[in-house]
Amino acid sequence: MFDRTKNLRLSVIKQMEIMATQFPDTISLAQGVPGFDTPECIKRRVEKALQEKVVAKYSLSPGIPELRELIEIKLARDNMFYDWEKEIIVTAGSIEGITATILTITNPGDEIIVPDPTYTSYREVILLSGCQPVFVSLNEQKGWAFELKKFEEAITSRTKAIFYCNPNNPTGTTYSREQLLSLAELARKHNLFLLSDEVYKDFIFPLRSERIFSLAEIPELRKRVIRFFSFSKSYAMTGWRVGYLHSDESVIREIIKVHDSLVTCAPVISQYAAMGALEMAQKEVINFNKEYAEKRDFVYQKFDEMKNFFSYIKPQSAYYIFPKIIKKEISMGFPEEKSFSWRFSKWILEETHVAVVPGIAFGENGEDHIRINFGRNQKGLEEALKRIKKFLQKQKLV
Amino acid sequence: MKFFFKIILKYYLKYITKTVLFLHQPKIVAVCGSINKTFVRDEIVRNFKKEKKSIRANPKNFNTEIGLPLAILNVSSGYNSYRGWISPIIEALKAVFQKKFPKYLVLEFGISQKGDMKYLLSIVSPKIFVITDITQRYVESFSGMDELFEEYEYLAEKISKNDWLVLNYDNIKIRELAKRTLAKVVSFGEQNFSSEWRIAKIEKNPQGQKVSISYQGKEKKYQLNRFGKHHAFALVASLAVKNIRI
């Protein structure tokens, strides 16, 4: 019974959120939700669609044509050229696209290489598909960079893909063009797919006009690269569950079969919201980015005040910071927990009523760290960091 | 309140736009149809720019009763916010006095409701109309495809004999418009061999696609860095427009 699901686990982030509900005054810096509501222009686009009575029926399986056209135009602005008719699928959030893709490109028993630390749900999706995640540690000293040799060593005859998140969750760091190109060369040599999850790519720190490079920009790689994007983070639309994926026609015509059997189509009302986002909300994305950049600077300042307890790599994107706990000789209780970062996160939650995510949730290489979402409202962020600092001071740890 | 505001705004923008167009007399290319308008518009703009023509196009979706005037006046939208409209209303008025105005405008026409074509033609008088294709898209607000086609039939009958219709001959109903107009007609397509400008071959390659276009018995190849047949159609339609002297 339950052979397929017995090795799956409920996301640690969600476990932390559930634990946090026992304290009514908890401030959660755990779940990766943006601190904003969906922009008004997007809501108005949805209202219009409701009035026009166009949301009640299924759309075509790959999505509403107008939306896919808008996606093609948006991608072209970012130097990625894909045919909206045959090479773009609108998905129910990026995770559905990821699931459909892994089910499409693998057979049970295949392996997928995943950098460590990375987004928690990748492991579960890979296991659910009957495959094995193979974690390869990133180098924290080099700003959480790839070490190509480690990736090459991890490749076996069963390896099907390398699956990375860029900008990376939980570190907020990005991979350089050179690193990505060398990874692409490795994929070419071993005939692997490259799955690129780029849901945070619209946020860049410090603020600058240049884009985050994607391997999907390289025409020669289009049959190898499958790129995922979600409207959740960029447009504060986590609840709408809408995203998209794109790749070469030869790949997409296979993924679409799985997408169709999983969800038929992405929620049509959310597809209209996504149209509103692409048509009208670009200014909002820029404003979100500005605000996150200010919050990031604030968070630096607070962690610098606790620098004998935490060290951190400056995030270049997303809205996370992933500080390392450098003092480990602490008496915290929770002996049942093997993981130090779990014990620390529970301790902080119980003592300060601030929810953070233990680094172990993102892979073994994330141990000794905690992930903090600084995208929440400023007042809550200030109060949460004040509580943590005050508590650590009381413990004579900072 | 919202309804009345929209009516007032619509006519305010319409008459300011007509004034601006009267003062500057730009030559206008209109792109209509259910699909592929933006890509065709972009190709036409690219060709005009290559010839160093001063040109402006409407942003995507600025193609209806409110959006089209805003695009012509080069003013941003206030969308559904009353406050948001204060600045566009002032800017629209200022547009009457702008000195630099492009010599050419390439405008998408969004036809999504009965009467849209008549209204848009009451604002602008394009010299060239491109009809990309007419499909089921945007048919929701019409009683059926026949009623949607009536919009284009109105256009075909209204357009003057000195102006041009550039038609996608792959669509039989669009082909029939040629019989209902006094305007000069240029045709393009892929499947219909009577098209003057025809996509003879599309070869996909890692860099995009190589498109062979035949015109007057001669074939020429173009390498596009975009993927998808709609770009080949955008190319062939834009070449047909480029060949017209207005």
Residue labelled with tokens 């003013």: B75
Q: What is the pLDDT of residue B92?
A: 84
CA distance A382 to chain B (A): 32
Asked whether residue A207 carries a pLDDT value surpassing 80, the answer given is: no
**Model confidence pLDDT, tens digit, residues B128-142:** 999 999 988 777 778
- The whole-angstrom separation of Cα B190 and Cα B168 is 9
CB-CB neighbors (< 8 A) of A83 in chain B:
226-231
**Model confidence pLDDT, tens digit, residues B98-115:** 888 899 999 998 888 899
- The whole-angstrom separation of Cα A345 and Cα A326 is 14
Task: Check: pTM over 0.95? Answer yes or no.
Answer: no
Q: In this complex, which of A52, A84, A87 lies closest to B140 when CB atoms are compared?
A: A52
Tell me if A255 sits within 8 A of A223, measured CB to CB.
Answer: no
B208 contacts chain A (CB < 8 A)? yes
What is the phi/psi pair of residue A65, to 5°? -55, -45
A25 contacts chain B (CB < 8 A)? no
User: DSSP readout, A128-181?
Assistant: HTT-EEEEEE-BGGGTSB--HHHHHHH--TTEEEEEEESS-TTT-----HHHHH
Q: How many helices (H) and strands (E) does chain B have?
A: 8, 9
> Span A180-201, mean pLDDT?
97
| Cα nearest neighbour of A81 on chain B | B226
A40 contacts chain B (CB < 8 A)? yes
**Model confidence pLDDT, tens digit, residues A147-182:** 999 999 999 999 999 999 999 999 999 999 999 999
Task: Answer yes or no: do B140 and A54 touch at CB < 8 A.
Answer: yes
Asked whether residue A389 carries a pLDDT value surpassing 80, the answer given is: yes
| Residue A312 DSSP label | -
Between helix A121-128 and helix A93-105 the angle, nearest 10°, is: 40
B228 contacts chain A (CB < 8 A)? yes
Asked whether residue B240 carries a pLDDT value surpassing 70, the answer given is: yes
Q: What is the pLDDT of residue A306?
A: 95
- The whole-angstrom separation of Cα A328 and Cα A176 is 32
Q: What is the pLDDT of residue B59?
A: 77
What count of other Cβ atoms lies within 10 Å of the Cβ of residue A271? 27
CB-CB neighbors (< 8 A) of A279 in chain B:
60-61
Query: Residue B209's closest CA among B230, B193, B238?
Result: B230
> Span A263-277, mean pLDDT?
97
Query: Residue A267's closest CA among A27, A90, A8, A31?
Result: A90
CB-CB neighbors (< 8 A) of B35 in chain A:
65, 69
- For A364-377, give one letter per residue: b (16+ CB within 10 A) or e: ebbbbbbbbbbbbe
A218 contacts chain B (CB < 8 A)? no
Q: What is the pLDDT of residue B110?
A: 87
Q: What is the pLDDT of residue A336?
A: 81
- The whole-angstrom separation of Cα A225 and Cα A238 is 25
Tell me if B190 sits within 8 A of B198, measured CB to CB.
Answer: yes
CB-CB neighbors (< 8 A) of B207 in chain A:
219
- The whole-angstrom separation of Cα A85 and Cα A13 is 37
SS3 category, B57? strand
Q: What is the pLDDT of residue A181?
A: 97
B144 contacts chain A (CB < 8 A)? no
**Model confidence pLDDT, tens digit, residues B191-226:** 888 899 999 999 999 899 999 999 999 999 999 999
B6 contacts chain A (CB < 8 A)? no
CA distance A265 to chain B (A): 18
CA distance to A241, A385, B152, per residue, from B134 (Å): 32, 58, 9
B194 contacts chain A (CB < 8 A)? no
Confidence label for B1 from pLDDT (cuts 50, 70 and 90):
low
> Span A7-14, mean pLDDT?
84
Least confident of A102-116, A129-143, B101-115, B198-212: B101-115
CA distance to A76, B1, B202, per residue, from B227 (Å): 11, 46, 10
The winner for highest mean pLDDT among A21-25, A235-239, A375-379 is A235-239
| Cα nearest neighbour of B112 on chain A | A52
- The whole-angstrom separation of Cα A4 and Cα A338 is 26
Confidence label for B65 from pLDDT (cuts 50, 70 and 90):
confident
CB-CB neighbors (< 8 A) of A86 in chain B:
227-228
Asked whether residue B60 carries a pLDDT value surpassing 70, the answer given is: no
Asked whether residue A119 carries a pLDDT value surpassing 90, the answer given is: yes
CB-CB neighbors (< 8 A) of A40 in chain B:
80-81
Q: What is the pLDDT of residue A196?
A: 98
Rounded mean pLDDT of chain A? 94
CA distance B80 to chain A (A): 7
Confidence label for A4 from pLDDT (cuts 50, 70 and 90):
confident
CA distance A105 to chain B (A): 21
Q: In this complex, which of B61, B140, B207 lies closest to A219 when CB atoms are compared?
A: B207
A239 contacts chain B (CB < 8 A)? no
Q: What is the 3-state secondary structure (H, E, C) of B212-233?
A: EEEECCEEEEEEECCCCHHHHH
- The whole-angstrom separation of Cα B43 and Cα B228 is 14
Interface size, chain A vs chain B, as Cβ–Cβ contacts under 8 Å: 50
- The whole-angstrom separation of Cα A388 and Cα A394 is 10
A41 contacts chain B (CB < 8 A)? yes
CA distance B35 to chain A (A): 8
Cα torsion A108, A109, A113, A118: sign: positive
| Cα nearest neighbour of B76 on chain A | A280
Asked whether residue B80 carries a pLDDT value surpassing 80, the answer given is: no
**Model confidence pLDDT, tens digit, residues A63-86:** 999 999 999 999 999 999 999 999
* Size of chain B, expressed as the number of residues it contains: 246
> Span B14-22, mean pLDDT?
91
CA distance B81 to chain A (A): 9
Q: What is the pLDDT of residue A398?
A: 84
**Model confidence pLDDT, tens digit, residues A330-349:** 888 878 888 999 999 999 99
Maximum Cα–Cα distance across chain B:
59
Q: In this complex, which of A54, A83, A219 lies closest to B206 when CB atoms are compared?
A: A219
Q: What is the pLDDT of residue B42?
A: 94
* Residues within 8 A of B (CB atoms), A 269-308 only: 279-280
| Cα nearest neighbour of A54 on chain B | B140
**Model confidence pLDDT, tens digit, residues A11-35:** 888 888 899 999 999 999 998 888 8
CB-CB neighbors (< 8 A) of A44 in chain B:
79-80
- A interface test, pick of B80, B112, B209 with most A CB neighbours within 10 Å: B80
Q: In this complex, which of B81, B207, B228 lies closest to A83 when CB atoms are compared?
A: B228
CB-CB neighbors (< 8 A) of A81 in chain B:
208, 225-227
Q: What is the pLDDT of residue A170?
A: 96
- The whole-angstrom separation of Cα B81 and Cα A276 is 15
Task: Answer yes or no: do B228 and A87 touch at CB < 8 A.
Answer: yes
- Tell me the Ramachandran region of residue A119: left when phi exceeds 0, alpha when psi lies from -120 to 50, beta otherwise: beta
Q: In this complex, which of A41, A53, A69 lies closest to B38 when CB atoms are compared?
A: A69
- The whole-angstrom separation of Cα B224 and Cα B5 is 45
H or E element in which residue B201 lies: strand B197-205
CA distance B6 to chain A (A): 14
- The whole-angstrom separation of Cα A381 and Cα B57 is 45
Task: Answer yes or no: do A41 and B79 touch at CB < 8 A.
Answer: yes
CB-CB neighbors (< 8 A) of A65 in chain B:
35, 137
